[in-house]
Each structure stands twice: as C-alpha cells, then as structure tokens.
Amino acid sequence: MSAGVHAGRRLEGRRAVITGGGSGIGRGAGLRFAQEGADVFLIGRSPDNIAETAELIRAAGGIAHCHVADVTVEEDVAAAAAQALKVLGGYEILFANAGNTDRMVPLFDQTLEQWDHAWRGNVVSAFLTIKHFGPAMRDAGHGSIILMSSSGSLRANAGTIAYGCAKSAVNMLAMGAANAFRGTQVRVNAIASGLVETKLTRSVFDYARNRGVEHKMGGITPLQRTGTVEEAAGVAAFLASDDSAFITGQIIAADGGLSSTHPFGKVDL
C-alpha cells in the first residue's frame, strides 16, 4: 500500500463494491477504500487477481470479499449484486471501474467489432452495474456511485476514437444516472482519468520505455508527467466520501491538466 499522505478514515463503517478490482486503479481504490475504513467487495473476471487484491487489503488490516463476474454479462452482474447484498448487508459506495481499451488503428480501418468491444466493455458494463447495484442504494436513500471515464472522453487523441466515444457515453451515463436518483442522496460522478500506468495502458508505457523516452510521458500536460494509481484512487476516495457530498452528475478530470490546455500537437516520443 502506498505510504502517501491520506485524509484519514473517511469511509469508516462504509461498504464499497468495486468492479475491475483485480488490478490497476480498481486494486488501488480497493486498498485506499479499505485504508480509509471501508469493507470492500471486489469483482473481477480473474479469480487470482481479485484474490491477490483481497490478500493485499487483508495484510494491511482491511476487510475484503471476492466475487468472480464478467460485468458485461447481465446474469453475472445480477448475481454479483445479490451476493454483495448478502455478504455486506448493503453498500454505500459503488465504483464501476471495469473497462477496456483497444489498439490504435486509423479511423478508416476500424472495425465494427472494435466499436462493439469498446461500447460493451465501457458503457454496457457501467450501465449493467448501475442497473443491478443501484436499486439497493436508491432504497437506502444514500450512497456514491463512481464511474470510470477518461480524458479520452473530453478531447481527441487520448486513446482510440472508439474508446473516446464510449467514455463520452459513460460521462452522459453519469449525468443521466445522477438525475435518475433525484430525490435521494445517491450521487453519481465520473472520473476522467489521464494517463496512468495500468494493465490497460502498459503497452503505451512499454513503447515509450523501449524507445528510451519514458521521461517524456505526459509531457503535454501542465504537470508534465503521467499519473499514478494512488492518485486516481485518491480521487475515487474523495468521490466516495462525504467530502464530495454536494457533487453529483459531474465529470472530474484527473489528468495532470491535459483537458485544460490546447496541446500543440502530438508530442514527438
């Protein structure tokens, strides 16, 4: 677990569900949520990966449960929601973090399969997660739902067009769902994450490393660096906590400032 500066135990007594909890930002958020006092219910496709996250959480003194599911499959999501309710007795935090990306391919060469894949893995998965986990939060009358978006949803050239379009739809899902929960204190927000090294983005980092220009990664952002898993998890923890109690329906960019600028074109890596 990161030894960074933490805001304390804002999630004491809370229960958090995280999809895509086996690696990357999902794992980082699991560790951070647990560190802030939440019991964590991890969902992922790979039993080994979520079990490893659970072990890390337990070793740090936290409480973690695992459930294997593919969040693009409706029956899986429905079963996961029932299991989370049974094991946790309820939950206040839902981090619909699972997503996918694809290879950079010129627009005119992209295939329908590629677009279906991006839509299913990023939008349908988030929709199914809200659809099946949301009602218990609505009935409880409070909670925080966090969707995983990307700086690729806000501007071109950060990820593939199919990925960017799908994440734009995730942004609209956050806004729409926030309104669907009107009259309750259930909030829905999305994190538009910049470049963070995870399994999803490893090929980009490997490419830069192989060319010896890793230090230039993130160079077009005002902060002139890439983000860390811990930083992304910190934003998720803020949105999960009552510190963000008046924020809903928003897309929070955590991208080193990328979406605030007019980059002068592709950086020569």
Partner 1 sequence: MTDSDSGVVEFADSTVVIVGGTSGVGLAAAIKFAEAGVPRIALVGRNEDRGRAAEQSVRSAHSSVDVRFMAADANRAANTEALVERILGAFGSIEILLNSTVGHAAPDLLKNIPLDQLESILVEQAMGPILMSRAVLPHMVERKRGVILNVASDAAKLATPGETVIGAAMAAIVMFTRALAIEGKRDGIRANALTPSLIGGTLTHQRMQESPFASKLFEKAGKMASLGIAEAEDLADLALFLASPAAKKITGQAISANGGISAA
Residues found near partner 1 in the complex (CB under 8 A)? 39-40, 54-55, 58, 61-65, 86-89
Nearer to partner 1 by Cβ, of 78 and 87: the residue is 87
Nearer to partner 1 by Cβ, of 42 and 166: the residue is 42
CB of 66 vs partner 1, minimal distance in Å: 9
Enclosing H/E stretch for 146: strand 142-150
User: What are the percentages of helix, strand and coil residues in the chain, rounded to 5?
Assistant: 45, 15, 35
Tell me the one-letter amino acid at 86.
K
Dihedral Cα 40, 31, 243, 193, nearest 10 deg:
-110
Nearer to partner 1 by Cβ, of 73 and 87: the residue is 87
CB of 103 vs partner 1, minimal distance in Å: 38
SS3 16: strand
Instruction: Name the β-bridge partners of 146.
Output: 95, 189
SS3 200: coil
CB of 90 vs partner 1, minimal distance in Å: 10
Q: What is the 3-state secondary structure (H, E, C) of 172-187?
A: HHHHHHHHHCCCCEEE
CB of 46 vs partner 1, minimal distance in Å: 17
Q: 136: which residues sit within 8 A by CB, 6+ positions away?
A: 81, 85, 90, 91
**Cα–Cα distance between 134 and 87 in angstroms, integer?**
17
Nearer to partner 1 by Cβ, of 62 and 143: the residue is 62
| 91 noted as active-site residue | no
CB-based burial of residue 75 (10 Å sphere; 0-12 exposed, 13-18 middle, 19+ buried)?
Answer: exposed
Nearer to partner 1 by Cβ, of 50 and 217: the residue is 50
Of the candidates 33, 41, 95, 163, the residue annotated as catalytic is 163
CB of 234 vs partner 1, minimal distance in Å: 23
Sign, Cα dihedral of 262, 100, 34, 180? positive
**Residue numbers annotated as active site:** 163
